Chains A and B, each alone.
Chain A
Amino acid sequence: MTPDLIYGLTGIAVFGIGLVGALCALDRLRRVLALKLCSVGAGFLLVVGAWRAPPGVPDPVPHALVITGIVVMVSATAVALALIRRLQTLEAEDER
């Protein structure tokens, strides 16, 4: 039981939970959050792939990829949330 095994399985579990949420959740905010969970799960796997047993130095390339992924994900989340705000406002106006 080394950290890479433990956290690799954690990452896969988090990815699976996010996948279920993205497909099955009804409210929009929750779906965006579920996609974010998927991205964290994928990040876990990349970081685990970069990990080397203690005396070794971790591989910096996957780390850079995950940092890029985090920034791209926050951009995508911001656009998705803006769309949600817009949709909700339009629906509220239709209702009136």
Chain B
Amino acid sequence: MAEVIAAVLMTAGTVFFIAGTVGLLRFPDIYCRLHALTKADGLGLALIALGTALLAGSAGAVFRIALIWFFVAVASATCSHLVARHARQTGTEVQHG
């Protein structure tokens, strides 16, 4: 049972990752792309981490997966902030339409 739930969670996570990647490729400017990437990939990562945690054997492994999720989430948020900040400072325009 746990394996089925984990598989569903991971598949859902993958779908979010694909959505984020489509957004990265299709959106017009850097701010929209960051928006797609951070939101979709953040959720996708959380779902996949949840799925792997269900399959993990021990409490220690679950704890490590939770830590990995936390730090990847924080690092990706910081990186996106730095990218957006750099884009704004160097005067990248927001594209309309």
Do A and B touch, yes or no (CB under 8 Å, in the complex)? no
**Chain A residues in the interface with B (C-beta under 8 A):** none
